[in-house]
Amino acid sequence: MVEQPLTEEAPQQKHRLLDLSMERLAEEFTALGEPAFRAKQVFDWLHVKNVHEPAQMTNLPAALREKLAEKFDHAPLRQVVRLDSRDGSIKYAFLTRGNDPIESVVMPSKYGCTLCISSQSGCPMACKFCETGHMGLRSWLSAGEILQQLYLAEQDSGQTVDRIVFMGMGEPLLNLRALRRVVEILCGEQGRNWSPRRITVSTVGIVQPMLKLADTFPRVNLALSLHFTTEAKRREQMPEATHDIMELMAALYYYRRVNGGKVSIEYTLISGSNDSDDDARRLVDFARFKGLPQDHPVVLDAEMQEKPARMQPLPVHVNLISYNPIPSAGFRGTSEDRIDHFAQLLASKGVPVTVRRSRGQDVGAACGQLGGKFAEK
């Protein structure tokens, strides 16, 4: 599968200000005949102060503000919808310059505020149980379009976001370079100076980018969307997730061994499909890396890392998610009793497990429900 090139290099009328790293912004300012410290001021307005309109960057000379407004696209996304759920979460729909829909969900709680963010408009992975999968891929998002979801959501909701989870539209590991830029900006000293552990990347499991992420994004959390424990079922329901389960296990082992971020397995329970006792047993084995050959090349590679082993004796944490039905799929969620039974089976084998009740279901903001239904035609 082909990775998206950096969109700042793609032909477009204007560079998006939010796409640019500090270094690239400084180069642009040099080309404009402006001193480097002006680039730092602008970077601070954009990523720390959350101010994007050049006219409001009050410590810049008026002529420079005009130049910025003329030369750059400072706001590539437009907010079109806000839906408030009874549980306090807020679903936003945005449109790109090309009118492609994106959705994000703000989820405040007593532990801080989490933003579920999109990395693509739509998704090419075509998972059958997911509304976004039924949309297909509309467009790749640039780093600036990903970041602007955060900034617009903060401005509109009045919340300060404490962590982001790439669990909205899209498969973030297909958009690795934009993802890298987002992490660099949010975790950079001149950006928000976040700990990488405030960022969680969710993936259906694409092995090479997973290994790259493990090596180059230290301490970013990884959530592997496993959802099925047999090859046949996984291929049927997640047709574009083509790596086999043992390869995913090896990649997860590698990530946990070398990265330092938290690792989890996401498992959506669908009635009669993946919620049997046998599924629970296979999930226990996966979480414990049971059957993983110690001479597997990825495992050997992990063991040869010079970094201190980060592997812990515990099995990987499993998040069980109750399925949120979508009209196009025809599946039902597992009953509460069955979910509790399934969780108990995992816990009885020593697998740490959390049952996640999805938020924002009443406004179509829960896991698997982001379907871009608000696109303006």
Q: Which stretches of the chain bind ligand SF4, using CB under 6 A?
A: 123, 125-127, 130, 132-133, 169-171, 204
Is 4 strand, coil or helix?
A: coil
Give the active site residues: 103, 367
Q: Which of 126, 311 has the CB closer to ligand SF4?
A: 126
How far is it, in rounded angstroms, from Cα 250 to Cα 248?
5
Asked if 214 and 255 touch (Cβ cutoff 8 Å), the reply is yes
Smallest gap from Cβ 203 to ligand SF4, in A, equals: 8
Residue matched to tokens 């020593």:
350
Question: Which position's Cβ is nearest ligand SF4?
Answer: 133
Length of the chain, please? 377
Smallest gap from Cβ 169 to ligand SF4, in A, equals: 6
Q: How many CB atoms lie within 10 A of CB 161?
A: 23
Dihedrals φ, ψ of 38, to 5°? -65, -35
Smallest gap from Cβ 126 to ligand SF4, in A, equals: 6
Q: Which of 157, 225 has the CB closer to ligand SF4?
A: 225
- Report angle CA 241, 177, 256 to the nearest 5 degrees: 60
Q: What distances in angstroms separate CA 128 from CA 43, 227, 347, one per listed residue?
A: 41, 12, 28
Q: Which of 286, 323 has the CB closer to ligand SF4?
A: 323
Smallest gap from Cβ 194 to ligand SF4, in A, equals: 24
Q: Which of 148, 202 has the CB closer to ligand SF4?
A: 202
Which pair of tokens denotes residue 174?
């297909």
Is 161 strand, coil or helix?
A: coil
Smallest gap from Cβ 264 to ligand SF4, in A, equals: 15
Q: Which of 245, 302 has the CB closer to ligand SF4?
A: 245
Q: How many CB atoms lie within 10 A of CB 18?
A: 26
Q: Which of 209, 260 has the CB closer to ligand SF4?
A: 209
DSSP 229-280: SSHHHHHHHSTT--S-HHHHHHHHHHHHHHT-S-EEEEEEEBTTTS-SHHHH
Which pair of tokens denotes residue 85?
């759920």
Smallest gap from Cβ 112 to ligand SF4, in A, equals: 24
- Report angle CA 65, 154, 264 to the nearest 5 degrees: 125
In one-letter notation, the amino acid at residue 260 is G
